[in-house]
Amino acid sequence: MTLTMADYAISTVETIIAPVRGFTVAGVPAGIRKSGRRDMALIASAVPCAAAGVFTTNQVKAAPVLLDQTHLAANPAGMRAIVVNSGVANACTGAQGLADAAASAALVAAALGCRAEDVFVLSTGVIGVPLPMERIAAGISALAGNLAPDGWAAAADAILTTDTVPKTASVRVQTPDGDYTIAAIAKGAGMIAPNMATMLAVIATDAALSPAALQAALSAASRLSFNRIVVDGDMSTNDTVLALANGASGVTVTDGDGLAAFQAALTAVCTELAKDIVMDGEGATRFITLHVSGAPDEEAARQVAMAIATSPLVKTAFYGGDANWGRILAAAGRAGVLLDAGRLALWIAPGESDCADGLQLVADGSPTAYSEDAAAAIMAAPEVSARLDLGLGAASCTVWTCDLSHDYVSINGHYRT
């Protein structure tokens, strides 16, 4: 029998995560954070999982990143759990940091009855501070005692730092062989830039995939989501996205339309979380969708889009509701892509839009006779879209960013206090 995409149905992305077969989850307060809020989470599978990961490209990598890269390389088909702590990043902590990350994995392994090499460790928080291992140990014990299929909300809350809201997403995929779920939690609000940022994401699915197929799908989904968001242009030491697939649904994803459906569902989940991170950006008041079209190739479009998305002048203009479009063109011009200024065209629109019916501000590199009042009204919206067409080809790219406010400076000027 030949199957087509018509044989697969992908639900809309939900923010409430229903139990994912074979996984139990918990989030508890371990006393790592001064506030006394939840600060440790554990995601565990009853059976070994295929695993995949995408990590920060920062050359200064935190101890848990180095540990996880080692565990993933050695054991891509046998991972069992992910433990997360917030409040302390365990970055720039030398040999002690590596030992503490390994000890955390060993404590989880002892609690679950698996090997330390079967456990991933994630940390987020202040750089240069060692893990409080007594509290970590007590937290792991509490997590193991609270594991439950419906623990996703507590876990999502436990991994936050400067975030104001938890970030959760899930989809269900119906196949000819049954259904499976993809669920994920994420954190991130600052140090957000391409190639990820101060963000962590944990993805769990009860579908069965090979490690290679899962890694390819995660890399592709991350390229279109987590690697296309900007809050402030900084890149962290701890950025990690991990995916576990335990096969408990009985549905096996191999190739063809089945893999295409999985890819579409995974990308939808990752995109939802990526947008949530931008919407919750530190001090952000506006969510901005940037489209760059008419590029000679996708990489050129991405390069121009990221130059605009990371520009402090562009971001502060959006904060002020000022249609100062010259800043957008100036940022595009310094992106390192060969442009023809006389071909540039720019539109803006309220909401998350493709700007097809937007207000055109620039045509052929010069301003149109647009209404300043109309432009100001669009820029005052909580969600704004802009499209810059380069007039050079058919390639395009979309990225998501936010404005830059006074509150961003306040939050980061006193981050440790």
Residue from 198, 237, 271, 401 carrying the catalytic annotation:
198
Would you call 285 a catalytic residue per the annotation?
no
Per-residue pLDDT tens over the stretch 189-207: 654 344 434 589 999 999 9
Per-residue pLDDT tens over the stretch 79-130: 999 999 999 999 999 999 999 999 999 999 999 999 999 999 999 988 899 9
For each of the chain's 417 residues, which pLDDT tens digit applies? Answer: 344 678 899 999 999 898 999 999 999 999 998 788 999 999 999 999 999 999 988 888 999 999 999 999 999 999 999 999 999 999 999 999 999 999 999 999 999 999 999 999 999 988 899 999 999 999 999 999 999 999 999 999 999 987 888 999 999 999 999 999 999 999 976 543 444 345 899 999 999 999 999 999 999 999 999 988 886 555 678 889 999 999 999 999 998 999 999 999 999 999 999 999 888 877 678 999 999 999 999 999 999 999 999 998 999 999 999 899 999 999 999 999 999 999 999 999 999 999 999 999 999 999 999 999 999 999 999 999 999 999 999 999 999 998 887 666 665 555 444
Closest CA to 308 of 403, 382, 393: 403
Cα–Cα distance measured from residue 109 to residue 121, given in angstroms and rounded to the nearest whole number: 11
Per-residue pLDDT tens over the stretch 343-392: 999 999 999 999 999 999 999 999 999 999 999 999 999 999 999 999 99
**Superfamily of 287-413 according to CATH:** ArgJ beta chain, C-terminal domain (3.10.20.340)
Cα–Cα distance measured from residue 75 to residue 93, given in angstroms and rounded to the nearest whole number: 25
The DSSP bridge pattern shows strands 287-295 and 240-245 to be unpaired
* Domain ranges for the chain: 5-277, 287-413
CATH topology of domain 5-277: L-amino peptidase D-ALA esterase/amidase (3.60.70)
